[in-house]
Structure formats: C-alpha cells, structure tokens
Structure 1
Amino acid sequence: MEPKAHHVIIGLFTVTAFAAALGFALWLGKSTADRDWAYYEIGFDHPVSGLSEGNPVLYSGVQIGDVVEMKLDPQDPSHVRVLIRVDQQIPIRENTRAGLVLANITGSMSIQFSGGSPDSPALKGDRQNPPLIMAKPSAFDSLLANGEDLLQKADSLLANANRMFSDQNTENLTIILANTREATDALLAQRDYLDALLERLDSAGKRAGEAAVKVAMVSDNANAILQNEGRAALTSLDEALQTLQATSSRIDRLTRENEGAMDSGLQGMGELAPALRELRSTLRNLNQFTRRLGEDPTRTLWGGETMKELSQ
C-alpha cells in the first residue's frame, strides 16, 4: 500500500506542475496577444540582405517591436517594403529616422529608429493603413552596396602596381637612384667650392647694399643742394633778369623820346650804337647761362666750363 501511495503523490504533483505551466503559458500568450501594437511600413531603396521576418526593431538600441512581413514594391521591384509592429506606447514621429544595423556577427540585420523631436507630430497607423517611413542608407549599407566596386578597384590597383613594378621599370628606377647618388656624391665633393662661392655671393650682396646706401646719400645731398643753394641762385637770376628788363624798357623809352635828336646828329647815334651792342652781348650771355643752368644746374653753379663772351 505504501508504494502505491507514493506513486499517487508523484503523479498528482506532476499533473499540478504541468497545469500550472500550461496556465502560465496561456496567460503569457494572452498578454502578448492583448498588447497594443502600432504598425509602420519601412521603405528601402537598396538591398536588405540579412533582414527577415521576426527580426527585432530597435529604438536607440532598445527593442520595441519586430518585423512582421517583407515584400517587394509592385511598382518598383528594386524597392523593398517591410511591415513592422511597434509598441504603441513608443512615440514614432514624422522626423524619426529608420535604418538597418548589424545585429550580430552572423550578418543578421535589425531595423533601428533614431531621432524624433518631441515637437514633431506623431505618426499613427494600423495594420490596414500603416504610414510609410523611408529608410536612410547607413555607412554600413553603402559599404555593402559598393563592396563589389571596391573589390574591382582594389584588383585594378593591384594590377597597376604589378605593372609599375615590372622588371623594366625596376631597372630604370635602379638607374635613376644610381644617377642620383652619383650627383649627390659630386655635390659633396664640391662642398668647399660651393661654400666659398656662397661666401663671395654674400660679400658681393653686402657691398651692393653699401653702394646703394652711398648712392642714396649722394642723391639726398644733391637734392638738398638744389633745394637750398640752387633756389637762391635762381632767385638772384630772376632778380637780375627783372633789372635787365627794366633797363631795356628805359632804353627803349629814351630811344623813342630822343628819336628826333638821334636822327639830327650822327654823333649821338655813334655813342648809342656801342651801348646797344654791349647790351645785346650781355643778354646773349645771360640766355646761355640760363639754358646751361636748366640742363645741368650742379655743374653750372659749382664748376665747369666758364661762359665765353661772344663778340658781335
């Protein structure tokens, strides 16, 4: 009787545990079924390799739903439409961005939401009319899409590198390096001569600078002379010309006033003619001095050929 009682107790305990587990599973399933979901359609204009139904949907790394259905766009088969469901309590807004992220090292992909400012309107949708959100290609998507092009470019680069390092090019490069070394050795051998040449060039440059300073000093002195003594000489010359002009005017007036007397006596005329010749000679010498002073004021004022008086 005792073994039979133990079997009854064990059987009763097993049935009770199974009934409890079944009740918990039914409750959990009912809770999941009763959960409120919001449905959205994610549009991809690039391949979605690694994404499949049941894969998680993340928001900033936290799972908020899963992929329900995947299909091609009937209007453009190169586009993919993915139906997802998200916990209705998670706000998906108009400026929320969607994209693919790598879920694990096996290549499985997940959909991830990011962004979405609180002031942006919320998107509401159900399974019959889910709002469309266009996914933005990520850097990883671009890498996968352009992987074939990258491999082709890498292969082309390796082929070009092999052609560049061919036997002929290698030999030419060796010759160029040898010539470069010979030229370097020749320059090193002439180092003392080059140093001396550079020193002479530096000395010549210094002397040229000193000469330029001296020329500038001479030019400044000449300018000072012209500004001071030359101006005084020109002033004196102007005064002399004014005096001569006044004298000439007086002589002309006297000639007009005594024209009758001069016509009546040859003696007075004979005395006036030498004076006129002397005046004409003086004016001629003065004109020559003025012309030379305009052409070379320094030489005229401070030395040079003296003016020769021209005789009539």
Structure 2
Amino acid sequence: MEPRAHHLIIGLFTILAFAAALIFALWLAKSSADREWGYYEVVFDHAVGGLSEGNPVLYSGVQIGDVVELRLDPDNPGHVRVLVRVDQSVPIRENTRAGLVLANITGSMSVQFSGGSPDQPELRGDPDNPPVIVAEPSAFNNFVANGEQLLTKADQLLTSVTELLSSSNIENTAAILQNTREATDAMLSRREQLTALLERFDAAAIRAEEAAIKVSRVSDNANELLQNDGQQVLESMDRALGVIYTTMARIDELTRNNQGAVDAGLQGMGELEPALRELRATLRSLNQFTHRLEQDPRGTLFGSETMKEVTQ
C-alpha cells in the first residue's frame, strides 16, 4: 500500500502542476488577447541577421511588444520590412527612431524604439495599413558590416607578419644584430679615442662659438660705422654731387649764351690748318738742314769746291 500511496501523491502533484501551467498559459493568452496593439512597419536598408518573428520590441530598453512578420521589400530586395506590434498605450511619434540592438550573446536581435518628442503628432498603428518607420543603422550593425573587412585586414596582417618572420628575414636580422654587436664592441675597445675625439669636437664647438661672437661684434661695429661715419660720407657725396650738378648747369648755360663765339672760334681753327701744314714743312726742312750741318758744316755753309780739270 505504501508504494501505491507514493505513486498516487506523485501523480496528483503532476496533474496539479500541469493544470496550473495550463491555467497560467490560458491567462497569459487571454491577457495578451485582451491588450490593444498598435502595428508599425519598420524598414531596414541593411541585413537584419538575428531578428526573427516573436523577438521582443523595446522602447528605451523596456519590452513593449514583439515582431509579427519579416519580409523583403518587393520593389527593393535589399530592404527588409519588419511588422511589429506595440502596446497601444505606448506613444509612437513621428520623430521616434528605430533600430536593432543585441538581445543576448547568442546573436539574437531586438527592435528598439527611442526618442520621440511630446510635441510631435502620434502615429496610430493599423494592422491593415501600418505607419512606416525607417530604421537607423546601429553601431552594432556597422560593426557587423565592417567585420568582413576587419577579418580581411587581419588576415593580410597575419600574412605580412608570417612573411616578416620567414627564415631568411630571421637570418638577416640575426646577422644585423651580430654586426651591431661587433661594431659596439669595437667602439667600446676604442673608448679613449672616442672620448678624445668628442673632446676635440667640444673644443672646436667652443672656438666656433667664439668666432661667431667675434663676427657678431665686427658686424655690430660695421653697422655702427655705417650709421655714423658712413652717414657723413654719404652726406658729403650728396653735397659734392650737388656742386657738380650746379657747375654743369652753369657750363651748359654759358655754352648756350656764347654759341656764336664758339662757332667762330671753331671756324678760325679750321683756317689755321694750311698754316700748320706749311709750318710743319718748314720745320722738316730746318731739321734736314740741321742734320747736314752736323755732318758737313763747311760744305753746308760755303758750298763744295769746284773740281779742276786735269790736263793730260
């Protein structure tokens, strides 16, 4: 009898649990049927992977309805039209925004409404002719859309890293490091010479600085000289040019006033040319006479003796 009593109790508990679940389901269905719904059609211009019928519809994170139907736009298959039903007590206005949000880590998506100013008119959802709301792309959708490009770039990066870490490149890198180590050891072995060279560079830099200071001083002195003595020289040259200009003006005026006398003098100088030629000829003859006088004074002055005829 005792085992039968246990089975009876278990069977009775099972029947009661099933009846309670059935009553709860009926109540839930009745309450859902009794609610008044507003229907809206949300248009997505991108993929809606993870969204399916029955997924929740949220407003600022609070569930207000669910997805009724998904279909492709017959005029543009790249667009997806999602019919949702929302509790009619929740106001959906003309400036209310819609988008997709991640529902859980499995990749399930939900439609979420946000925004909506109280001063904007309210949209009335009719199941036969639902208002259309154009969805905005979410950050998650952009991430998913760019995921393929990110994976491609990651693959290219891994390929480049693999090529960079090839055996030949590793050998070349090892050789470079070995050469660097040898160069470092050589420099360390000549540390004293390098120190002396650096000291020479330091001394040369000091001398160069001193030379630059001297050049700067010379430049300052030259600038001062130009500003003082040079100014006086320029003023003297300016006065001298003024005197020369005045003198030239006076000569030009004198020439214009005595133009006739100058022309007459030039004409007289032209008449002197024949006299100068005769004087030049006379001087030439006098020069010849003087030359003969030096060679034969007597013959030149008294003439040569008359030759006598010799009788045979």
TM-score by length of 1: 0.59
Give the count of matched residue pairs. 224
| 1:151 aligned partner | 151
Identity %, equivalent residues: 65
Seen in structure 2, the aligned counterparts of structure 1 residues 193 and 111 have a Cα distance that, compared at 3 Å, is same
- 1:196-275 equivalences under 5 Å are 196-218=196-218, 220=220, 227=228, 231=232
| 1:291 aligned partner | none
Structure 2 unmatched runs, 5+: 1-14, 244-312
Secondary structure of the corresponding residue to residue 93 of structure 1: coil
Secondary structure of the corresponding residue to residue 178 of structure 1: helix
| 1:262 aligned partner | none
| 1:289 aligned partner | none
Seen in structure 2, the aligned counterparts of structure 1 residues 125 and 198 have a Cα distance that, compared at 3 Å, is same
Seen in structure 2, the aligned counterparts of structure 1 residues 223 and 125 have a Cα distance that, compared at 3 Å, is closer
Q: CA deviation at 1:29?
A: 4.5
Between stretches 169-178 and 220-229, larger displacement belongs to 220-229
| 2:99 aligned partner | 99
| 1:9 aligned partner | none
- 1:1-312 equivalences under 5 Å are 29-218=29-218, 220=220, 227=228, 231=232
Seen in structure 2, the aligned counterparts of structure 1 residues 156 and 217 have a Cα distance that, compared at 3 Å, is closer
Seen in structure 2, the aligned counterparts of structure 1 residues 119 and 188 have a Cα distance that, compared at 3 Å, is farther
Q: CA deviation at 1:39?
A: 1.0
Q: Deviations over 1:223-252 (max 9, x none)?
A: 6667369959x97xx99xx9xxxxxxxxxx
- What is the CA–CA distance in structure 1 between the aligned matches of 2:45 and 2:195, rounded to whole Å? 70
- What is the CA–CA distance in structure 2 between the aligned matches of 1:36 and 1:153, rounded to whole Å? 50
Seen in structure 2, the aligned counterparts of structure 1 residues 26 and 201 have a Cα distance that, compared at 3 Å, is closer
- What is the CA–CA distance in structure 2 between the aligned matches of 1:55 and 1:109, rounded to whole Å? 7
- What is the CA–CA distance in structure 1 between the aligned matches of 2:25 and 2:216, rounded to whole Å? 108
Seen in structure 2, the aligned counterparts of structure 1 residues 193 and 62 have a Cα distance that, compared at 3 Å, is same
Seen in structure 2, the aligned counterparts of structure 1 residues 32 and 222 have a Cα distance that, compared at 3 Å, is closer
Secondary structure of the corresponding residue to residue 113 of structure 1: strand
Runs of 4+ that moved beyond 6 A: 24-27
Q: CA deviation at 1:127?
A: 1.0
- What is the CA–CA distance in structure 1 between the aligned matches of 2:83 and 2:223, rounded to whole Å? 96
- What is the CA–CA distance in structure 2 between the aligned matches of 1:61 and 1:106, rounded to whole Å? 18
Seen in structure 2, the aligned counterparts of structure 1 residues 229 and 115 have a Cα distance that, compared at 3 Å, is closer
Q: CA deviation at 1:122?
A: 2.8
- What is the CA–CA distance in structure 2 between the aligned matches of 1:123 and 1:109, rounded to whole Å? 24
Secondary structure of the corresponding residue to residue 201 of structure 2: helix
Secondary structure of the corresponding residue to residue 99 of structure 1: strand
| 2:293 aligned partner | none
Q: CA deviation at 1:69?
A: 1.3
Secondary structure of the corresponding residue to residue 53 of structure 2: coil
Amino acid at match of 2:85: R
Q: CA deviation at 1:56?
A: 0.8
Q: CA deviation at 1:84?
A: 0.4
Secondary structure of the corresponding residue to residue 111 of structure 1: strand
Amino acid at match of 2:100: L
TM-score by length of 2: 0.59
- What is the CA–CA distance in structure 2 between the aligned matches of 1:173 and 1:37, rounded to whole Å? 71
Q: Which has the larger radius of gyration?
A: 2
| 2:287 aligned partner | none
Amino acid at match of 1:66: D
Seen in structure 2, the aligned counterparts of structure 1 residues 190 and 91 have a Cα distance that, compared at 3 Å, is farther
Secondary structure of the corresponding residue to residue 86 of structure 1: strand
- What is the CA–CA distance in structure 1 between the aligned matches of 2:188 and 2:168, rounded to whole Å? 30
Seen in structure 2, the aligned counterparts of structure 1 residues 33 and 164 have a Cα distance that, compared at 3 Å, is same
Seen in structure 2, the aligned counterparts of structure 1 residues 213 and 119 have a Cα distance that, compared at 3 Å, is same
Amino acid at match of 1:33: A
Q: CA deviation at 1:144?
A: 3.0
Secondary structure of the corresponding residue to residue 208 of structure 1: helix
Secondary structure of the corresponding residue to residue 183 of structure 1: helix
- What is the CA–CA distance in structure 2 between the aligned matches of 1:114 and 1:155, rounded to whole Å? 38
